[in-house]
Amino acid sequence: MNIKSIVTGGSDEAIVAECERGEDAAIENYQRVLKNNLPPNVLPVVKHQFTELKRSHDRIRDLEQAA
């Protein structure tokens, strides 16, 4: 995320768009990692984090559409 634009007074739309961009990047990384053979004790944790990330991404997307 571009924190500088947030701190220096970016518009609400720009802030939400930047949050969504950060979420998109995180989702891509999780999808890439989940294609690997993760240890059995790690896989459920990563899957749970990924599910929560997708929920967060949907909320950010909804905020962007509302802005």
Contacts of 24 (CB under 8 A, 6+ apart): 57
pTM of the model: 0.74
Which two structure tokens, joined as six digits, stand for 13? Answer: 């739309």
Which residues span the domain enclosing 53?
A: 3-66
Tally the domains of the chain: 1
Q: What is the pLDDT of residue 12?
A: 73
In this prediction, residue 4 carries a pLDDT of: 58
Which of 7, 29, 28, 33 has its CA nearest to residue 18? Answer: 7
Q: Report the CATH number at residue 41.
A: 1.20.1260.10
pLDDT tens digits in sequence order for the chain, 67 residues long: 556 555 556 677 777 777 788 889 999 999 999 999 999 999 999 999 999 999 988 887 887 777 6
d(CA 48, CA 8): 34
Nearest to 45 by CA among 33, 60, 32: 33
Q: How far apart are the first and last CA of the chain?
A: 18
